[in-house]
């Protein structure tokens, strides 16, 4: 699905900036939803600082393409064209959310946009793109499937099993590693000896690159090259180097990080970088501020929307364990009543 | 009626379904050129090609994960796990992904895949190639579980599994592959999820599945020679679990034994025993008795292997003691 770019600059960078700015704004409101006690729990993983990966790669995808994400995937889904109201409602555990409150932040999905699901198991969503690649080959529909995951997933064997299969079968698949330098509280150089992550993919026979996530245009360019290649049967791996601006999840204040490192890391801000480039190329700060204001107002409204929504009805908990044609599981209370009602 | 083996019936089910539905693909270790470790997929690669009968690397987790992704994008994958003992390698993809995707995503999409595998004792295959791990699967909502005992069910349950809208774990028994029976594959099968009453009798009900159905039938014949008539119920599927078929027989006989090859503790028999006790309490003359595998690993020694799982003698002996 083409991301929505109804306003702002007609240049590619303008569109990329606008989408990144929407992701940033949305993620800030996710934090606010939590602070206001309106999120369903605190398992909220913000992608602030990583917007260029989501936006640059999604810009290279076509409508028929599919993808899976990790637990830090709000930005990817939004860049793909998700409705921020339904996203926020899902994060709030509301009936109006994408998954009717059953999935939440870490299990959000939408088949309409080819989102085969976010995942709360590190690496858990990766092999699904191999299967999606088999489907695309079988059906000849020209779809590419992209697995988004963090650097933490490079410690999981399933990544290597999946890369090997994709390379072996020349599937239309891209493995996109958003390297924000941290798997929870462990910095990548404390988790692996060789931090040039794309070299692993080269060893499997994939096309592989690392790109600096500061520059969204560079990410989009690399993604276009690799996604196009994957569509032509050359599966690929793209590592996007960036920095996770905040803690692992909402309650994590990152005590394991040196404040000086954080200050330096937050200098690598892809949104600010794109904004500066746009001003260099002639856009006025006032025009950008106006666009930002519109975006912030749109995202503010997602909080109000979410608060106004209802919880899913209790009886819905038995729904969708199996196909709707099948009987729902019998509630424990009903079973107890039946057992104790005997004469 | 034709005579065929359990293995041939499984192969026939795959071939017939693949002919009817071009979206069915097979994937797994050795399913193609080798023809399957137990020969179930023999020569299917010649019939349907390497794009539909896909030999994979030895990567059980990714095999199941790829099947999940394929099922979500319009294919009907049938993945093969060479031994159920390897299910631990796949458990995230099976229990966290396949089983929960429909639910987590609010019913947007199901995962119509079949994971074919085989388990059980009988070939001195040792502790890591002989287990009965169906309880792992039965303990996970979202996964259907079929365990055929007969040649006809090998065919029909597998055909039905390949039309099921939800993920099915299909566990064959390695000791049954060469078993021959006369079958009429054109005859109307029992519906999916319905237990089969293999033998009816008013003295005792034996509830079981997979290979133990044959052991229970042999025991029932021994008992009949002594004037004791047992009902033998073959569950066929453990999820769905057909308790409606069990209930009236237990209410009539007042005695029930549940038999499974898997270890006793927290096994399928424990669930069946609890259900029968809860639902038929007023009709029971005796506690429901579990006959099950010993709570030990399986040995390579044929003597220790056979000694660690139920057989006809243990079932018959237990029945006689219950009725004494």
Mean pLDDT over B84-102 rounds to: 98
Q: Which residues of A touch B93 (CB under 8 A)?
A: 124, 127, 158
Nearest to B133 by CA among B160, B167, B171, B190: B171
Mean pLDDT over B171-198 rounds to: 97
Compute the mean pLDDT over every residue in chain B, rounded to the nearest whole number: 98
Which runs of consecutive H residues, i.e. helices, occur in B122-280? 134-138, 151-161, 212-225, 243-253, 268-280
Domain boundary among B130, B148, B183: B183
Closest residue in B to A116 (Cα–Cα): B72
Joined together, the tokens standing for residue B323 give 């009725």
Q: Containing H/E element for B55?
A: strand B53-55
* Cβ-defined contact of A138 to B71 (cutoff 8 Å): no
Residues whose CB falls within 8 Å of the CB of residue A2, separated by 6 or more in sequence, listed in order: A63, A81
Nearest to A311 by CA among A104, A78, A26, A32: A104
Location of structure tokens 């055909």: B159
Joined together, the tokens standing for residue B168 give 């099915």
Query: Looking at residue A250, what is its pLDDT?
Result: 87
Q: How far is CA A124 from CA A249, A334, B58, in A?
A: 19, 35, 18
* Cβ-defined contact of B74 to A99 (cutoff 8 Å): no
Residue B189 DSSP SS3: coil
Distance from C-alpha of A243 to C-alpha of A264, rounded to nearest angstrom: 9
Query: Looking at residue B142, what is its pLDDT?
Result: 98
% of chain B exceeding 70 in pLDDT: 100
Interface test with A, best of B53, B65, B163, B193 (most A CBs within 10 A): B65
The verdict on whether B129 is a catalytic residue reads yes
Q: Which residues of B touch A339 (CB under 8 A)?
A: 278-279, 281
Asked if the structure places residue B190 within a domain, the reply is no
B91 and B8 in a single domain? The answer is yes
pLDDT tens, B48-62? 999 999 999 999 999
Asked if the structure places residue B191 within a domain, the reply is no
Query: Looking at residue A2, what is its pLDDT?
Result: 39
pLDDT, one tens digit for every residue, chain A (343 residues): 334 433 434 469 999 999 999 999 999 999 999 999 999 988 999 999 999 999 999 999 999 999 999 999 999 999 999 999 999 999 999 999 999 999 999 999 999 999 999 999 999 999 999 999 999 999 999 999 999 999 999 999 999 999 999 999 999 999 999 999 999 999 999 999 999 999 999 999 999 999 999 999 999 999 999 999 999 999 999 999 999 999 999 889 999 999 999 999 999 999 999 999 999 999 999 999 999 999 999 999 999 999 999 999 999 999 999 999 999 999 999 999 999 987 5
Closest residue in B to A167 (Cα–Cα): B57
β-bridge pairing B256-263 and B144-146: unpaired
**For the domain bounded by A12-313, which CATH number is listed?**
3.40.50.970
Examine the pLDDT at B227 and tell me if it is beyond 70.
yes
Examine the pLDDT at B187 and tell me if it is beyond 80.
yes
Asked if the structure places residue B318 within a domain, the reply is yes
CATH number, domain of B75, equals 3.40.50.970
Joined together, the tokens standing for residue A25 give 């704004």
Query: Looking at residue A7, what is its pLDDT?
Result: 40
Of B73, B77, B105, Cβ closest to residue A66: B73
B171 and B211 in a single domain? The answer is no
Q: Identify the sign of the CA torsion A182, A183, A189, A194.
A: negative
Q: Which residues of B touch A319 (CB under 8 A)?
A: 107
Which runs of consecutive H residues, i.e. helices, occur in A98-184? 126-139, 157-169
B132 and B20 in a single domain? The answer is yes
Which one of the listed residues B8, B80, B129, B261 is annotated catalytic?
A: B129
Query: Looking at residue A9, what is its pLDDT?
Result: 42
Q: Which residues of B touch A338 (CB under 8 A)?
A: 279
Give the closest-approach CA distance of B2 to chain A in angstroms.
34
Domain boundary among B131, B162, B183: B183
CB atoms closer than 10 angstroms to residue A22: 25
Distance from C-alpha of A92 to C-alpha of A77, rounded to nearest angstrom: 16
Strands (E), chain A: 66-68, 145-150, 173-179, 182-183, 186-187, 207-212, 236-241
Residues whose CB falls within 8 Å of the CB of residue A193, separated by 6 or more in sequence, listed in order: none
CA-atom Rg of chain B in angstroms: 19
Task: Name the least confident of A3-12, B52-61, B82-91, B134-143.
Answer: A3-12
Q: Which residues of A touch B277 (CB under 8 A)?
A: none
Mean pLDDT over B101-108 rounds to: 98
Examine the pLDDT at B321 and tell me if it is beyond 60.
yes
Of B54, B67, B141, Cβ closest to residue A329: B141
B152 and B241 in a single domain? The answer is no
Nearest to A99 by CA among A132, A80, A77: A77
Q: What share of chain B is helix, strand, coil (3-state, %, to 5)?
A: 40, 20, 40
φ and ψ at residue B290, rounded to 5 degrees: -95, 125
Distance from C-alpha of A342 to C-alpha of B15, rounded to nearest angstrom: 49
B162 and B14 in a single domain? The answer is yes
Domain, as residue range, for B276: 196-323
Which one of the listed residues B60, B80, B134, B305 is annotated catalytic?
A: B60
Q: Which residues of A touch B66 (CB under 8 A)?
A: 127-128, 130-131, 134, 162, 165
Joined together, the tokens standing for residue A284 give 């006025």
Residues whose CB falls within 8 Å of the CB of residue A13, separated by 6 or more in sequence, listed in order: A216, A217, A274, A277, A278, A281
Whole-angstrom distance between the N-terminal and C-terminal Cα of chain B? 41
Domain boundary among B183, B204, B237: B183
Distance from C-alpha of A7 to C-alpha of B311, rounded to nearest angstrom: 75
Query: Looking at residue A187, what is its pLDDT?
Result: 97
Residue B72 DSSP SS3: helix
Q: Identify the sign of the CA torsion A319, A323, A324, A329.
A: negative
* Cβ-defined contact of A165 to B66 (cutoff 8 Å): yes
| A333 in reach of chain B (CB within 8 A) | no
B206 and B296 in a single domain? The answer is yes
Residue A70 DSSP SS3: coil
HSE (side-chain half, CA atoms, 13 Å) at A56: 31
CATH number, domain of B283, equals 3.40.50.920
Distance from C-alpha of A312 to C-alpha of A319, rounded to nearest angstrom: 11
Distance from C-alpha of B290 to C-alpha of B310, rounded to nearest angstrom: 10
B298 and B243 in a single domain? The answer is yes
Q: DSSP label at B188?
A: P
How many distinct structural domains can be found in chain B? Answer: 2
Give the closest-approach CA distance of A113 to chain B in angstroms.
12
Location of structure tokens 């409204």: A301
Distance from C-alpha of A156 to C-alpha of A70, rounded to nearest angstrom: 13
Strands (E), B87-221: 114-119, 144-146, 168-173, 180-183, 196-199, 204-208
Instruction: Say if CB B163 and CB B13 are below 8 A apart.
Output: no
Residue B146 DSSP SS3: strand
Q: Containing H/E element for A90?
A: helix A84-91
Give the closest-approach CA distance of A220 to chain B in angstroms.
26
Distance from C-alpha of A256 to C-alpha of A22, rounded to nearest angstrom: 29
Nearest to B38 by CA among B177, B181, B132: B177
B225 and B267 in a single domain? The answer is yes
Asked if the structure places residue B238 within a domain, the reply is yes
Residue A131 CA, chain-centre distance (Å), reads 19
Nearest to A256 by CA among A321, A174, A188, A187: A187
Nearest to A44 by CA among A187, A186, A306, A248: A248
B164 and B202 in a single domain? The answer is no
Residue B313 DSSP SS3: helix
Distance from C-alpha of B277 to C-alpha of B250, rounded to nearest angstrom: 10
Helices A126-139 & B60-72, crossing angle to 10 degrees? 50
B145 and B237 in a single domain? The answer is no
B179 and B209 in a single domain? The answer is no
B242 and B291 in a single domain? The answer is yes
Asked if the structure places residue B188 within a domain, the reply is no
Query: Looking at residue A41, what is its pLDDT?
Result: 87
Nearest to B172 by CA among B90, B115, B117: B117
């Amino acid at each position: 699905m083409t991301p929505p770019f109804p306003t702002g600059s007609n240049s590619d960078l303008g569109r990329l900036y606008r989408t990144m700015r929407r992701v940033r704004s949305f993620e800030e409101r996710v934090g606010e939803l939590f602070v206001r006690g309106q999120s369903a729990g605190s398992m909220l993983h913000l992608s602030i600082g990583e917007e260029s990966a989501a936006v640059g790669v999604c810009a290279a995808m076509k409508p028929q393409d599919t993808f899976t994400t990790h637990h830090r995937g709000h930005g990817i889904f939004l860049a793909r064209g998700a409705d921020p109201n339904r996203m926020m409602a899902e994060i709030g555990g509301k009936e109006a959310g994408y998954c009717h409150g059953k999935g939440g932040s870490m299990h959000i999905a939408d088949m309409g946009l080819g989102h085969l699901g976010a995942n709360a198991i590190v690496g858990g969503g990766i092999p699904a793109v191999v299967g999606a690649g088999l489907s695309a080959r079988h059906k000849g529909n020209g779809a590419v499937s992209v697995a988004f995951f963090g650097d933490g997933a490079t410690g999981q064997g399933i990544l290597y099993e999946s890369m090997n299969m994709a390379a072996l079968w020349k599937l239309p698949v891209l493995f996109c590693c958003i390297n924000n330098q941290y798997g929870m509280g462990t910095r990548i150089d404390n988790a692996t000896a060789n931090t040039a992550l794309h070299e692993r993919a080269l060893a499997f026979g994939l096309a592989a690159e690392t790109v600096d996530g500061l520059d969204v245009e560079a990410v989009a360019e690399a993604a276009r090259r690799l996604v196009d290649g994957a569509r032509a049967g050359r599966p690929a791996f793209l590592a996007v180097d960036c920095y996770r601006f905040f803690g692992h999840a909402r309650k994590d204040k990152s005590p394991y990080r040196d404040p000086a490192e954080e200050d330096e890391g937050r200098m690598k801000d892809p949104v600010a970088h794109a904004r500066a480039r746009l001003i260099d190329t002639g856009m006025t700060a006032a025009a950008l501020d106006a666009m930002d204001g519109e975006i912030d107002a749109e995202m503010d409204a997602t909080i109000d929307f979410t608060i106004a929504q209802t919880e899913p009805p209790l009886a819905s908990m038995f729904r969708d364990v199996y196909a709707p044609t099948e009987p729902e599981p019998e509630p424990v209370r009903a079973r107890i009543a039946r057992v104790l009602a005997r004469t | 009626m034709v005579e065929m083996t359990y293995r041939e019936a499984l192969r026939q089910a795959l071939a017939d379904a693949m002919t009817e539905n071009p979206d069915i693909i097979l994937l797994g270790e050795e399913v193609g050129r080798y023809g399957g470790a137990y020969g179930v997929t023999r020569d299917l690669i010649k019939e349907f090609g390497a794009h539909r009968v896909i030999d994979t690397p030895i990567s059980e987790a990714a095999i199941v994960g790829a099947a999940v992704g394929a099922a979500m994008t319009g294919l009907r994958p049938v993945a093969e796990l060479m031994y159920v003992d390897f299910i631990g390698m796949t458990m995230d993809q099976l229990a966290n992904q396949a089983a929960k995707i429909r639910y987590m995503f609010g019913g947007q999409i199901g995962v119509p895949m079949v994971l074919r595998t085989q388990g059980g004792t009988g070939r001195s295959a040792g502790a890591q190639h002989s287990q009965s791990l169906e309880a792992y699967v039965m303990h996970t909502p979202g996964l259907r579980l079929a365990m055929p005992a007969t040649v006809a069910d090998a065919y029909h349950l597998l055909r039905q599994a390949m039309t099921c809208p939800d993920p099915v774990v299909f566990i064959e028994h390695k000791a049954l592959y060469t078993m021959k029976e006369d079958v009429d594959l054109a005859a109307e099968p029992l519906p999916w999820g319905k237990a089969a009453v293999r033998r009816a009798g008013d003295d005792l009900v034996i509830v079981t599945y997979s290979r133990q159905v044959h052991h229970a039938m042999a025991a029932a014949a021994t008992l009949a020679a002594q004037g004791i008539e047992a009902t033998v119920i073959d569950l066929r599927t453990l999820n769905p679990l057909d308790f409606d078929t069990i209930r009236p027989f237990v209410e009539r006989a007042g005695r029930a034994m549940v038999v499974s090859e898997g270890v006793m503790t927290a096994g399928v028999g424990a669930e069946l025993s609890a259900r029968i006790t809860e639902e038929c309490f007023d009709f029971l003359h005796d506690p429901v008795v579990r006959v099950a595998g010993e709570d030990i690993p399986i040995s390579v020694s044929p003597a220790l292997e056979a000694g660690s799982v139920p057989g006809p003698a243990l079932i018959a002996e237990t029945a006689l003691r219950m009725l004494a």
